[in-house]
Structure 1
Amino acid sequence: MVAADNLQMTQGETPFDLSAYLQERQALVEAALDNAITLTYPEKIYEAMRYSLLAGGKRLRPILCLATCEMAGGTIEMAMPTACALEMIHTMSLIHDDLPAMDNDDYRRGQLTNHKVYGEDIAILAGDGLLAYAFEFVAANTQSVPAERVLQVILRLGRAVGAAGLVGGQVVDLESEGKSDVSVETLNFIHTHKTAALLEACVVCGGILAGIPEPDLQRLSRYAQNIGLAFQIVDDILDITATQEELGKTAGKDLQAQKVTYPSLWGLEESQRQAQQLIESAAAELTPFGEKARPLLAIANFITSRTH
């Protein structure tokens, strides 16, 4: 594994304090999410939406959006509605992923899953409500950004979450359960769509809001695709090596569901090597951005070193 300072700094620079950075941005995101959805009639659906949306987590997706927008010369304020929308979409995917018809999980982020608290019917509707509201929230609340850029963001979000992205990846994932002949190519398709597509939208949308040129957007796309796949490889490793307390969700679910994972194809050591290689490729894409890219570099390195 490459040491953090190799990716984050050159000689003479002070180390980047990722922990303080994440803590500060996380607090901003939490406050914005809390304000985004208020309780009104019918209270049950808003309670269910808030229950999962405010259940904690690293808030990595909204933070990636904010970090990219700032790197490209934009502001936190112009990116925050999109950052919140990305977390709403991510939360919807978790609620639906945990349902008995999908992964059938009882715990998420250390607490009971939405359907265990509110029932399957309300959980489905809470996910639907969050997905619809995400687009409304971007359109209604984005300030100081040309309408054309906001439209581009909405287009990217739709593509990332639909059949060309997350939904398509989930379909192939479900179809592959219990099969012993799933190839690396199929596994890459699943996770490029199911995991990396939304992470890519986080990064690219941050750049679009700030008006970054197209060649730089392509670099950001490649950076995000690489960290997205690395993120999934590390998730697969942790499903084997971490406890339920560390994960905040049921451990060993992949094995139980007879899912093909990167460690099941490559073994743990090779999986770790592949994840690190992806992070190094991601870091290389950020070279033209110089010191402004330090938060994105540090986040990339954090992905392979995390323990939950």
Structure 2
Amino acid sequence: MSGAREGQFADWMKTVQHKVEHELSAFLPPAGEEPRKLHEAMRYTALGGGKRVRPLLVYAAGALFGADERALAHAACAVEMIHVYSLVHDDMPCMDDDALRRGKPTVHVQYDEATALLVGDALQAQAFDVLANAHTVPHDRLVWMLKVLAHAAGAAGMCGGQAIDLDSVGLQLTLEQLERMHQLKTGALLRASVVLGALAGAEVNEEQMQALNAYARAIGLAFQVVDDVLDATADSATLGKTAGKDAAANKPTYVSILGLEESKALAQTLRDEAHAALAPFGDNARHLRDLADLIVQRNA
């Protein structure tokens, strides 16, 4: 990416991240409204942190199909609320038991376990309320969008992948089994982000949907491969979460199966696949290409 192009992408990212922060704050309950502790904790975990990769994907895909700003705001914030809820629950003692997320204490550490559980539950419900109120989207397509998000968040998507992850501690998975787990745990919500952005703008034909799905599959796996590499190589201060957790917990990862260098090479291959999938959209998909690069080249 040239210096000028890189600067344009950075400016676009900052603009979208600022919009999402503002919209999230508006969609979340006020901290001073009862029950105050729950509302304060929801805002504590959802605001002021994170790369907002999923909302960025929503906006980048939406740009391909002429989506309006209100539709994108609702879709982006809905998918981010699902993501944040999953992080809150994932960090709890009954799951991954982590004390650090996005550079600050996790919700169950800052508040308590019961509050963390309720924060996740409330954010999940809030996500569907936010998306259902995207009134600029035609009714039939909005129902489709709600189904996409529900499928990605549930047992056939993120929750199913998390269940497989918990059941796989200490086991030797094949590469195919590991890929299946992460296509559900991480990939499903990334795919939903791309599809929601597209559907927020217009009907998507079969060829376009196939291209978007191929792109989303590649970046979904790349995201997890890079996560595994960073967990093995970066420190907690850089990551904003506890480094080395996967190895300490004896979890199967791409690094444990392939080794560090082959995992890095796989991430680059997946980046190339993501770029190739976007060929039907030409230069209009430049932000989706840039996001694939960001996912693979990130250091946190």
TM-score by length of 1: 0.94
Alignment of 1:1-308 (within 5 A): 4=1, 15-16=5-6, 17-37=8-28, 38-39=30-31, 40-140=33-133, 142-179=134-171, 181-211=172-202, 212-308=204-300
**What is the rounded CA distance, in whole Å, between the counterparts of 1:296 and 1:77 in structure 2?**
20
RMSD over equivalenced CA pairs, Å? 1.3
Query: In the TM superposition, what whole-angstrom CA distance separates every residue of 1:214-234 from its partner, at most 9, and x where no partner exists?
Result: 320221111011101000000
- 1:137-183 Cα distance to aligned partner (Å, 9 max, x none): 1112x13210111111100000000000001101110010012x211
Question: What secondary structure does 1:210 align onto?
Answer: coil
Q: How many Å apart are 1:77 and its aligned residue?
A: 2.3
Q: Which moved more, 1:66-75 or 1:246-255?
A: 66-75
Cα distance in 2 for partners of 1:77, 1:192 equals: 29
Structure 1: 5+ residue runs without aligned partners? Answer: 9-13
* Offset at residue 303 of structure 1 (A): 1.0
Letter in 1 for 2:39: Y
> Secondary structure at 2:200's aligned position in 1?
helix
CA–CA separation in structure 1 for the residues paired with 2:178 and 2:281 = 31
CA separation in 2, counterparts of 1:105 and 1:267?
Answer: 25
TM-score (norm 2): 0.96
Preserved contact between residue 55 and residue 109 of structure 1 (Cα < 8 Å): no
Q: CA deviation at 1:268?
A: 1.0
- Superposed CA deviations along residues 68-112 of structure 1, whole A, max 9, x for unmatched, are 111222223221101000000000000000000000000000000
Contact 1:263 1:271 in 2 (8 A): yes
Q: Structure 1 vs Structure 2: percent identity of aligned residues?
A: 45
Whether the aligned pair in 2 keeps the contact of 1:223 and 1:283 (CA below 8 Å) is yes
Letter in 1 for 2:106: T
Q: Any idea what SS the aligned residue of 1:15 has?
A: helix
Structure 2 contact 68–200 (Cα < 8 Å) conserved:
no
Amino acid at match of 1:275: A
Task: Report the equivalent of 1:11.
Answer: none
18-27 vs 88-97, which moves further? 18-27
* SS in structure 2 at match of 1:102: coil
Is the Cα–Cα contact under 8 Å of residues 95 and 166 in structure 2 kept in the other structure? Answer: yes
Q: Which runs of 5+ in 2 are unaligned?
A: none
